[in-house]
Amino acid sequence: MKSMLKKEFRKISTHCFRGFWQSCGVNAYKDMFCPLFFVIVLGAKHLVGGLIVDNTVKVSRGQRVSSYTSSIPAVSLIKCESTCFLRKRNGMCNICGYDKISKTCFISNDNEADIILTSDHTKVVLKPIEHICENAEYLVNGVNPVSDAQLSASSVYDPGHAETGARLNTSPSLTTVGAWCAGYNDANQYIQVQFNDVSHVTGVAIQGRPINTDPAFPHVGCCLQYVTSYKVLYSSDCVNFITVKDNNGVDMVFTGNTDQDTVVTSLLPSQVTALCARVNPISYLGHVSLRFDILGCPIYN
């Protein structure tokens, strides 16, 4: 029975794909079964690096992107769709455009509000929709914590104030003050984490610097310091970073702490996919100091 089903599937898939390739998406849908086939195969699963990944790409005709970062000529709509999905997953684009005449795929960071409506139905916008991260976990110090080597920062006040002491609820000790404290108090500072796997990122949790009450440790009585607002950046390669934006395409500024110990969690307007994330303090009390974690779901876990 299984082998019969496999043969039938091959027959159907060959028929549908041949029709789609020959017509470039114009006449293939005359066959009533082919739309169903493409919804099941293209809209439900992709085989990526040997792993099955849930995804959907919404295709909208009569729309075009207002700007693009790169273009890929002489590709099919199917190829553009899969490329767009993978680049979205790696944080390299938000949506894509496709021109059926020139067969060009346009990689874009446009948001919904940037899409341009047109009467030309040969212009298409592709909107990747990935599996939603519903059960977010801490990605820095959760079930599978990152190593100290995966944490970095723009600057540190001194080795005792390094990023390796910046995990949530860290306490002062002989080797750390229990927080990351930047070497400079300006808006160019950041703390960064490289995740164990490419991950869907959904939020950030931050905490201020703990006040040291133990005379056995350095800096007793110090210090009331915390971040009051910050931005979040993410990257697929840990080199090129994108700032999280609000629904209007403006850099989003998140509300931080009002004391040094309460964990304040902020959710992103929509999940992003990244290998690295940065917290970029904008305003602070006392000094740029914080403990933090990132909320999300590892994709390959």
**pLDDT for 220-264, tens place per residue?**
999 999 999 999 999 989 999 999 998 888 999 999 999 999 999
Asked if residues 185 and 280 have their Cβ atoms less than 8 Å apart, the reply is: no
pLDDT digits (tens, 9 = 90+) for 90-119: 778 889 999 999 999 999 999 888 999 999
Asked if residues 281 and 255 have their Cβ atoms less than 8 Å apart, the reply is: no
**The whole model's pTM is what?**
0.65
Residue appearing with tokens 């890929």: 72
Q: What residue ranges define each of the domains in the chain, with the CATH number in brackets?
A: 2-130 (3.50.4.10), 137-298 (2.60.120.260)
Residue appearing with tokens 């104030």: 161
CA 291 to chain centre: 21
Listed in sequence order, the residues at least 6 apart from 184 whose beta carbon sits closer than 8 Å to its beta carbon are 155, 288
Q: Rounding to the nearest 10 degrees, give the CA dihedral for residues 59, 63, 69, 75.
A: 50
pLDDT digits (tens, 9 = 90+) for 253-289: 999 999 999 999 999 998 888 999 999 999 999 999 9
Within 10 angstroms of residue 272's Cβ, the number of other Cβ atoms is: 23
Residue appearing with tokens 């910046």: 166
